[in-house]
Each structure stands twice: as C-alpha cells, then as structure tokens.
Amino acid sequence: MVNRGASTGCITCRERRVKCDEQKPKCKECLRLGRECAGYGRRSTRVRFKDVTARFSGKSSRGSSREGSRNGNSNSNSNSNGGSDRDSPLRTTTTIVPTEAGSTSHPRTSWSDDAILQGPPQVQQDYAVDFFLTYVTHIGRSKESTRGFLEFIRPALATERPDSALSTAVNAVAMKLWAWLNHPNVDQTIPGKLLGHALVRLQDAVEDPEERARDTTVLAALLLQMYDTLAAVFDQQRAQGTHREGALALLLTRADGEKRSKFFANLAGNILHAKVSMCVREGVLLPPNELEWLETQVIPIVPMNPSTLLDIIGLDVAKVQHLYSEAKQAEDITSSSAPTELFENIQAVDAQLKQWLEVVPQHWYPFRVHTGRDIDPSIATYQGACEVYPSVQVANIWNAWRIYRLIVEKIKLQLSNSGFAFVAPARASVLRNDLDTREIQDITDGLCHSIPFYLGNRTSPVVMSDMDDPHLTFPTFHDVQQTTTDGQRAFLQYRASDHHVSRLDHARHVILQGPLHMTIILSRIIDMLFAEDEDSGERGGSSGSLPAGNPTTANNQKPLRPEQEQWISEQFLRALYLLRLLPESARVVSPENDTNVDDKNNQIPTVAAAAAAASQSAQAAPNKISKARILASALRRGLWTLTVL
C-alpha cells in the first residue's frame, strides 16, 4: 500500500474518515449531508467550554449533541456563549448565534457574504443545496406536524449517489430557489439545465424496476412538482400537476411487499393532503378509485397527527360543498335526497372540526401578543395584536382549520339567503338558530391576527441578504418569555417541543416561507368570502364561491366587517409584492387611472396578467378590495398546484 502522505481533505471528512472531493470553500460531501464543513488545513487549538445548558433547560447536553448529529449538523464550531470563529480557514464568514437557554441553533454561513452571492456557478450550486436542505426541509419542520414530503428529503438523501434521481432533483429545486433569491448574480439558465438533467435521471429511475419501487424515486417526482410550482410562482407560468400525478402512479402500482418501505406511509399521506386540498379548493369529490385507495390503503397506515386528521375531515368538507352544489342544481328539489344528506353532513363536519381542537398539542395553540408591549412597533398588526405559532407549518395547519370552518359557516349563510326553500321546516329552524355571522367574523379575526406572524415588518421583496438583516423582525415565542406568567409558560412549552429553534433561524425560515404561504391562505379567503359590489352581478369563482347577488344575511349583514376586508386586501397585495408577483405600481396607483376590470369570463391566464389588469384600479379602498379579489381568482386558476405544506 502506497503512503501518499497526509490527507488534504476537509477537517470534517478527515475526522469522519471518509473520502473528500476537496471542493472549496466547502466540500460537496458535507453539503450533500447537511453537515457543517470545517474547511481545510490544520484545525486551530480548541478552547473547551463547559456546557451548562442542561442546568437551565432540563435537557441533557449529551442528548442535545446527539440530536444535532441526527439532524446533520456538526457542533464542532458551535459556541452557545456567543464566541468567535475568526480562526476558521473558510473564505466565508460564520455567524455565531447568541441563543436562549436550550436552543439547538448552530452557526450558519453569512448568506450575504460576497464570496457566496457572487461566487462561480458551482460554488453557488453547492451553497444552494445547503441552504435548501437547512431552511426548506429542516428548520421549522417536525414529524409531529409533517405532511409527508419535505421532512424526509435529508435522511433519504444521505444514502443517495450524487447522480441519483433524488440528488439531481434536489440540485434543480435548490438552484431554482437560489436563483430567485440571488437573481442579479445567478445565470438564470442554470436551474433549467439542472431540471433537464433531473428529468433524465427520473425517467431512468422510472424505467428501472428496482429504482421505480424506491421511496427516493417518489420523492424525486414530488421535488420536481415543487420545481414546477416554483416556476409558476417565480416565472409567472401556468402550473402543471404532471409530477404529482406521476408520484401517485408510482405509489398505486407498488406490489404489496413494496408498501412496507421506510417512507411509504408518509408519502401516501402527502398525496392525501394534495388531493384533499384540490377537492376543497374546487368543491368537488375525488374520483371513486382514488377515494377507495385513500380510504382502504392510505388512511389506515398514515401516521396520525393533527394535520392528517384535518386532511381526513377535509374529505367530508369537500363532500358538503359537493352536496350543496347538487342541491342548488336539482330540478325537482322535493324529490331529491340531497337536502337531507347536506343537512346531516353539515352537522357532522361541524362536530368533527370542533372535536379536532381536542387532539391539538397544547404548545401548538397560538399565543396573542401586542404591539409595544411584546413585539416591535414596526410590525403592522391587526387591531394592535397578532398571534405567534411554533412554526409556519403549524400556523398553516391552524389556518387550514379556519378555512374549513369558514366553508361550513358560509354554506349556512348561503342557505339562509335562499330562505331555506329546500330544507325541511324543522331542520331549517335548527340551521337558522345555528347561523351567526359573528362566528364567521370571529374565525376570520383569528386568521387576520396570524398575518403578522408570516410577514413581520418586511416592506420589500425578499433577497438573500435578508437572511442576515438585523432590522427584519418577526413575532415569535422568544418575544413572550419575559412578559407575563402565561407568556413564560408558553415559551417553556415551545422550548420543550420539536419546533424550538433560535430567533435567527426562526426569522430565516419565516422570511423564506411566510409570504408564499400567506398568499395561498388569503387568496382562498378572498375568493370565498369577499362580497361583490351590488351592481356587479354573479361571480365567476369556483363552486365554493358566493352565489349571485350580495352575500348578506336576512338582516342585511355581510359575512365580513369592512375593516376585515380592508386588512386582508392590503396584506394580500403586500404578500404578492414581497413575492415579486405584483409591482409596486400596482399597490399604489393614481385614481385617475381607475378602470373596470372584468374577471367573469375566466380569461386571466396568469397572476402576471391579473396584476397588469388590477394595476389599473384606483388606490381607494373599494378598488383595492376589488383588485385583491381579481388577483385571488387568478391565483386560484393559474397556480392551482399550490398547497399549504
């Protein structure tokens, strides 16, 4: 055996005794596994600090170290006391995060460093993968609230070859996101080239019987669906659902012995979530074969958590929407069984949604904070307050629950407008007594209070340097730990949960994910509940939209208060602007340019076209609300593959 001298690989690979490709400033092996690459050369003399975290958090420092290792993060450069890392041989800078007691935050690359933002394409691609694996698939995600897809990318990728279908799909999606965040410094053709390579590898995997049955092939297909959705958002194209249907086909055609794979149940749960989201959005039922597959093979095996239970309830919500549509269209309503079945299903779904609250973990419950006392006054809040959540993912689940509640309450309101003509008198009396527009308004208040959690004090479109901007702030449980006794209790529950991250990591994960998820949620609320002007006639929305005429109760009450419509419209336009889907000129325009925009003919093909049309609206409140309604309808039609993940 020939001794070729001391290894010149990175310090991390040398300590792990694995081959290093010696890519600089960080090797691909470390970036692929989500590890902190310690650089090259000699490791500087270590200064050891005694870990006293456990004394204050009740957590074992040994356990925390193991947890960091499981998450693919090395603590070799970590210093919870806020130490320095000046001796690091890396060309990039490292941010040491001063963390609260018990935080599992790790030092992260300063994403605004010129060596990263303006580096050669290969270096940027390596950093893009590291960034994607950290802030899209890891930070802010937990198996406790998983919807079965992104949380499993990191562990699945750890055993994959660099040229596998999953690895190439990760490269493509990561670079697509990176190009959007760092667009002035990135060749915009690179993501497309990586996509082409990923498509070839996926096709190869599908044609290979052994690869076809692997979970990683399904994950690759779902990632490429994510790429198409990102392209629809960032490039303002019409979304396609080809890869999601392909993932479903891969799962449906598996032999019984192949259904016991490591991630099969979770992947099937992700398909369940996507299908339920589509059905509720369109107010339709699943095809019988897909519904049978979900009921007999998916629901019995999928890991049960509050998110999964909500998806199962969502199937019944879609059924209620479908029954209401049938009841309206029945020629002989007296001979139809639809009204009776509708009434019974409304009551059943109502009960299920209220019972769902009993299975929600205590630390998931939102905590109300107030401007001035708890959070930075630069954060725009609703009625001087907002609600904080453990993560964007948990906030999404709560808002999905609110949307389901609003769908049911809205159908009650529509039945009230119809005078209950096709409902038996006894049941009509029960339904009328149960109807209260204040219920709709109270549920909507909860959603309005969640908006600042997603958007913070951001006022400009997201760029990579936002990740290190100290002036950007977002409401978090870290804000409430020293305010009140209830606040301290809420923070301790949060700190003991799987969702706990440092304040900086929380901000980065909300910067990246907040506006997009808020856009999806608000577009659904606007398309569902906003009233047309009295002279505008019938809407052109989905089957779940409001019927012809102004949707008021018998007492001439609109479902939402004027301030709710105003706040939601403003924040929806703001979220679109933060995503670069709406130019600044479309948010603030001159009243002289006011024109009527017709969205009834379903001819607005993309958000871009809708934004261009809506930008002609006036700055006055009614026109701003009308503009938001047009954009929400276009978003539903053009970006239909978006789901709240």
Higher pLDDT, 516 or 234: 516
Among 230, 245, 261, residue at a domain's last position = 261
CB atoms near residue 211 (< 10 Å): 17
178 in any annotated domain = yes
**Domain check: are 26 and 127 in the same one?**
no
Indicate the pTM of the whole model: 0.76
**DSSP string computed for 615-644:** TTS-SSHHHHHHHHHHHHHHHHHH-TT---
Is the predicted pLDDT of residue 593 greater than 50, yes or no?
A: no
Q: Is the pLDDT of residue 43 over 70?
A: no
Is residue 230 domain-resident? yes
Strands 108-109 and 367-370: unpaired
- Residue 264, burial from CB neighbour count under 10 angstroms (0-12, 13-18, 19+): buried
Comparing 117 with 150, the larger pLDDT belongs to 150
pLDDT at 82 over 50: no
Q: Is the same domain home to 220 and 130?
A: yes
Mean pLDDT in residue range 436-464:
90
Among 645, 640, 514, 515, which Cα is nearest to 573's?
515
138 and 251 together in one domain? yes
pLDDT at 350: 92
Same domain flag for 166 and 256? yes
Confidence at 169, pLDDT banded by 50, 70, 90:
very high
- Our CA dihedral for 558, 562, 568, 573, rounded to 10 degrees, sits at 120
In this structure, is residue 554 part of a structural domain? no
Question: Final residue of a domain: which of 219, 239, 261?
Answer: 261
> What is the percent of the chain with per-residue pLDDT over 70, rounded to a whole number?
68
Does 527 or 586 have the greater pLDDT score?
527
Q: What is the pLDDT of residues 249-305, one digit of tens each?
A: 998 888 887 788 888 888 888 888 888 988 888 888 888 888 888 888 888 988 888
Q: How many CB atoms lie within 10 A of CB 84?
A: 10
DSSP characters over 20-63: ----SSS-HHHHHHT-----SSPPPPP------HHHHHS--HHH
Res 345 pLDDT > 80? yes
Could you tell me which residues are beta bridge partners of residue 387?
368
Residues with Cβ within 8 Å of residue 155, at least 6 apart in sequence: none
Q: Are residues 132 and 256 in the same domain?
A: yes
Would you say 550 and 431 are in contact if contact means Cβ atoms under 8 Å apart? no
Worst-scoring range by mean pLDDT, 49-53, 408-412, 633-637? 49-53
**134 sits in which H/E element:** helix 121-135
Flag whether 68 is in a domain.
no
Tokens found for residue 127: 């950093």
For residue range 524-546, what is the model confidence (pLDDT) as tens digits?
A: 899 888 755 433 333 333 434 43
Over the stretch 3-39, which tens digit does the pLDDT of each residue have? 455 678 888 888 777 888 888 778 877 877 767 787 8
- What lies within 8 Å, CB to CB, of 585 at 6+ separation is 615
Residue 17: CATH number of its domain: 4.10.240.10
What is the band of 411 on the pLDDT scale with cuts at 50, 70, 90? confident
Q: Which of 261, 290, 325 is the last residue of a domain?
A: 261
Q: 444, 437, 417, 408: which is closest to 559 by C-alpha? A: 437
Asked if the structure places residue 173 within a domain, the reply is: yes
Does residue 255 lie in a domain region? yes
Instruction: Flag whether 139 is in a domain.
Output: yes
Note whether residue 91 is domain-resident.
no
pLDDT value at residue 643: 58
pLDDT attached to residue 424: 53
Q: ∠603-569-613 over CA atoms, to 5°?
A: 30
Partner residues linked to 369 by β-bridges: 386
More confident residue, 239 or 221: 221
Q: Could you tell me the residue range of the domain that residue 37 belongs to?
A: 7-44
Residues 23 and 155 placed together within one structural domain of the fold: no
The verdict on 40 and 124 lying in the same domain is no
Instruction: Give me the long-range contacts of 492-497 (CB less than 8 A, separation at least 24).
Output: 493/362, 493/363, 494/363, 494/390, 495/57, 495/100, 495/101, 495/102, 495/103, 496/58, 496/363, 497/142, 497/144, 497/361, 497/363, 497/390
Dist. CA 309–CA 317, nearest whole Å: 13
The per-residue pLDDT for 68 is 38
Q: How many domains are contained in the chain? A: 2
Rounded Cα distance between 269 and 311, Å, is: 9
Q: For residue 557, what pLDDT is reported?
A: 58
Same domain, yes or no: 31 and 141:
no
Where is pLDDT greater, at 195 or 481? 195
The chain-wide mean pLDDT, for the chain, equals 75
